[in-house]
Each structure stands twice: as structure tokens, then as C-alpha cells.
Amino acid sequence: MDARRESEPTPMTNHTTVERKSERELVIKRTFYAPARIVFEAWTKPELLKRWWVPKSAGLSLLSCEMDVRVGGRYRLEFGHEASKSMAFFGKYIEVTPHSRLVWTNEESDDGPVTTVTFEETSGKTLLVLHELYPSKGALDVAIAGMEDGMPESFAQLDELLVALSARH
């Protein structure tokens, strides 16, 4: 299968997968048509990361991006429409192995995961695996229930429905 794929031209679109691997883990995968050193560079230089971390479709902009990519070094990313209403994501790098592995903490909440990104190069392509390990099943459940923009809204609607229903009884 791989041999066949290599003879084909590089596809313009590529597939991202997300899987809940266990009660505490999410795994995201994608292949990039470039050597690991290039993909790694795009993850570790703030001026490059800035260009792709916040997709245009998210409707947000990255206000600041500070990254001290070395073991024990800290990072801080701020998003928002304006500085007064920004959201910050921060933590520190706990493992930095050039071109193959990055591990960092997410400290904006006590239930933040530890993120591990690995870059595996095979014949010029790089399989990127991003692994998020949450401190508990509850922490991942809560992230799932609360993180997606649509979710709090749907819960709020459900809440209203339940209040209405219980008033009727």
C-alpha cells in the first residue's frame, strides 16, 4: 500500500484523525509531506507557530505567542479579539528532543492534560502524533463537555428545558 502511495503525486488535502484512546487520552494524527526537521521547526519557532496555530475559521486571533522551547522553558499563548478579553494558555516544556519529540504541560487549569507530540519520519514524510493525557477520566469528560463552543449553549438550552418540564410537574 505504501509503495503504491509513494508513486502517486502528493495529495493536496490530507487526513487528520482524532481518537479517544482511553478514559484519559486523546490521540490526534496527521501525515506531513516533509522531513521531520521541517515540521519540528514549524512547532518550535514562535514566528512560524503563530502562522498556523489559530486557523482563520476559529474567528480568533493570536494576540501574543511566547515560547522558550527547552526543558523547563515556559510558553504562553494569548487569544482573543482584543487584549482586555483574551484567553491565555500556558505551561512549560518538560521534554524537547530535536526533530522527534516535544512534551509540555497545560497549566491554565488544574485539569489540563500533558501534551506529547512525536514526529516520525519515513521516506521523507512525517507522521505527527499528538497525544493528550488528562489527569483523570473526569478531567477529559469535563473538557469534552465544556470546551466545544456549541456545548455550553446546548447545555444551557437543555437546562431551560428541564426547568420548564419540572415546573409543569
The footprint of another protein (CB under 8 A) covers: 13-20, 26, 28, 30, 32-34, 38-39, 41-42, 48, 51-58, 109-111, 128, 130, 141-142, 144-152, 154-156, 158-159, 161-163, 165-166, 169
Query: Of 28 and 63, which CB lies nearer to another protein in the complex structure?
Result: 28
Grid cell of 70 as nine digits: 527547552
User: Could you give the 3-state DSSP secondary structure of residue 137?
Assistant: helix
User: Smallest gap, in angstroms, from Cβ of residue 25 to another protein?
Assistant: 12
Query: Of 43 and 63, which CB lies nearer to another protein in the complex structure?
Result: 43
Query: Of 5 and 71, which CB lies nearer to another protein in the complex structure?
Result: 5
Query: Of 22 and 71, which CB lies nearer to another protein in the complex structure?
Result: 22
Q: How far is CA 124 from CA 33, 39, 46, 49, 127, in A?
A: 7, 11, 24, 21, 10
Grid cell of 14 as nine digits: 490530507
User: Smallest gap, in angstroms, from Cβ of residue 72 to another protein?
Assistant: 23
Distance of CA 165 to the CA centre of its chain: 38
Round to whole Å and give the CA distance between 64 and 10: 34
Helix (H), strand (E) at residue 69 = none
User: Smallest gap, in angstroms, from Cβ of residue 94 to another protein?
Assistant: 22
